[in-house]
Structure 1
Amino acid sequence: MPMFRRALLASLALPALARAQGAWTPDRPSRLVVPFAPGGSQDVLGRLFAQAIQAGTGQQMVVENRAGAGGILGGEAVARGPADGLSLLLATAGQTTIPKAIGRRMPYDPDTDLAPVMQLLDSPVALLAGPNLPVTDAASLMALARSSPTPLPYASTGIGTNTHLIMEDLKARERLKVEHVPYRGAAAAFNDLLAGRIALMFVSVPSVLGFSGGALKVVATTGAERFPSLPDVPTLTESAVPGFTASIWTGLSVRAGTPPAAIAHWRQAFASAMGEAALRERLDGLGVTPAVTDPAAFGAMMRQDLARWRRVVAPLNISLD
């Protein structure tokens, strides 16, 4: 049984904390703050979860899009809101670990103003090579990037994003000769990759699965296991760089000071929703996998994430302010 399936099944037991502290249920509609604009992948996920929660519990959950500043405005909406358990943040690294690692000025401290509820999802990223590059796999791409007389241009979906920092981490570890070319999103980067103006890039697996503009050369993914939707694509750690893994995660956070019983309620509700086959099927189709954890494990994962990105950004002199 795949690792993420075992973790999901293990998570579906009723939390002892909820039993110990008594039941808590919302006394009015709750809101799930999605820190990105409508129509994007996180918005789709947020609406899927809100529908699943309403179907499973009968409790109304409203999705509220708070886009801006890379998601920080959405994080602020929850971090500066009431600690009543009725406002939840669909959290990613963009509102928590990455801006703190970069040293970006933020109107809240993710460590002290937000409390972890659970990790929800995990998705590896895909390593793409330009179709005209003389490479057939990740190992030959790494060899080319080490020996190239001039740096190979690589795309990201923006300065300080996951796809930027993952490549910089790989660059430092493998001594790659690559240079950064940031884009506003994956679509424009794909066009330049196919046209030969970009040599390589990391991009989310959902973006790869949703692309229909040409044949992408996917040489590896960055999970610990092969991704189910791309079973013929090896992981980077098995094919070229042992031990190198990376992912784009999605979790659930609330305002610090939220009652523990409310946190336990939402963890149980979301974990139960992810036990439903219909929701799992939708998530599989979107290129994400369940990664249900408890608050302590989610908090520990974010601390590890922060430490990794601090190490990566230290020599880069990134400023987004």
Structure 2
Amino acid sequence: METQGMSFPLNRRQALAAVLAAAALPGAHAQAWPARPIRLVVNFPPGGAADQLARAIAQPLQDALGQPVAVENRGGAGGNLGADAVAKSPGDGYTLLFASGGTLSVNPHIYPRMPFDPRKDLVPVAAAARVLVFLVVRADSPVKDFPGLLADLKAHPGRRSFGSPGNGSSPHLAAEMMKSMASVYAVHIPYRGAAPALTDLLGGQVDFLFDPGIAVPHIRAGRLRLLAVGSPSRSPLFPDTPTLAEAGLAGFDADTVFGLYAPGGTPAPVIARLNAEVNRILATPAMRERITAIGGVPAPLSAEQFAAKVAEDSQRFGTIVRERRIVGD
């Protein structure tokens, strides 16, 4: 009897503790996260703008969260392979996607069958940078400026080529916008990433390129000539270089926003924590310098603002995709 009398209060205390723990589960999950390493999937190969931005953010994010953040490149199918891997991962905050702006704003327009539902399976978490595109040619090119490029393309229809990170990428769409607005033609050579496209431009395999920022060191070193910027406003790196809108293509805007996504179903407190940490990182001088160095502009946004920007860009790029009848690889 004495043993039973002692055990009864203990059971009540256990039951009460279980009820309180269950009631506090969402908050407890948010406080406990992260409890193990985080995998950050970049849906393009190493060396490109997405990869450089992801790796720049991974280290300070790791420091802030107190857990390793391992970057993993999974390129292919215009970014769909890596995005699909994350979309089908558990929504627990331990698998995240760092993607180019076109993953959700362009790919649904150029791939008739997406491997995941872009409206439900991936959630915008935090924008990282507005990525500009730079129209470049080799330094030994006879083309000296943007009017000279248009004159050359009109004089040699179909005999000039341009590279891009792949069908439907923002540099590809920028070139298609230019071709449409200026009524010129050049052959598109798609690559699996911005880095190999840049390598072939430097090697003379293609004639020009809309670069997402990784060519900046080559521009500064004099190996490439910058003709124009495909943004509504001039680049802080090259304030003397005109935009394509200033050069005669009114309204030209090929900017995209790169950022962090999570699988659908990821708890709201986890998304809020990630958004706050990324925005804090973007405000540091070191990160602003890293982003500016590749020609980007830091883009701190709330998760809701980021989602709205993705929807806005989807409408804008969908128009050029349909007009130019662009399809995915």
TM-score (structure 1 length as normaliser): 0.81
Contact 1:72 1:94 in 2 (8 A): no
Structure 2 match to 1:171 = 179
In our comparison, the structure showing a higher alpha carbon Rg is 2
Contact 1:171 1:177 in 2 (8 A): yes
Q: Does 1:192 align with 2:200?
A: no
Once the two structures are TM-superposed, the CA of residue 303 in structure 1 deviates from its matched residue by 1.6
Structure 1 match to 2:155 = 148
Unpaired stretches in structure 2, ≥5 consecutive residues: 1-26, 192-196
Once the two structures are TM-superposed, the CA of residue 26 in structure 1 deviates from its matched residue by 1.7
Question: Matches of 2:267 and 2:149 in 1, distance apart?
Answer: 50
Once the two structures are TM-superposed, the CA of residue 260 in structure 1 deviates from its matched residue by 1.3
- Runs ≥4 in structure 1, deviation > 3 angstroms? 21-25, 37-41, 129-137, 139-142, 145-152, 210-215, 315-321
Unpaired stretches in structure 1, ≥5 consecutive residues: 1-20
Structure 2 match to 1:83 = 91
Alignment of 1:267-286 (within 5 A): 267-286=275-294
Structure 1 match to 2:40 = 32
Question: Matches of 2:55 and 2:299 in 1, distance apart?
Answer: 18
Distance change (3 Å), C-alpha of 1:231 and 1:100: same
SS in 1 for 2:260: strand
Alignment of 1:64-79 (within 5 A): 64-79=72-87
Code of the aligned partner of 1:207 = A
Structure 2 match to 1:207 = 215
Distance change (3 Å), C-alpha of 1:213 and 1:277: closer
Once the two structures are TM-superposed, the CA of residue 244 in structure 1 deviates from its matched residue by 1.2
CA deviations on 1:195-228 (whole Å, 9 max, x unpaired) are xx63x43222322434688632211112233212
SS in 2 for 1:307: helix
Please, what is the CA RMSD of the aligned residues?
2.8
TM-score (structure 2 length as normaliser): 0.79
Q: Does 1:300 align with 2:308?
A: yes
Question: Matches of 1:52 and 1:287 in 2, distance apart?
Answer: 20
Distance change (3 Å), C-alpha of 1:236 and 1:318: closer
Once the two structures are TM-superposed, the CA of residue 149 in structure 1 deviates from its matched residue by 6.7
Once the two structures are TM-superposed, the CA of residue 285 in structure 1 deviates from its matched residue by 2.1
Q: Tell me how many residue pairs correspond in the alignment.
A: 295
Structure 2 match to 1:102 = 110
Code of the aligned partner of 2:279 = A
CA deviations on 1:161-218 (whole Å, 9 max, x unpaired) are 22221111222223x221223142221133327xxx63x4322232243468863221
Question: Matches of 1:94 and 1:41 in 2, distance apart?
Answer: 13
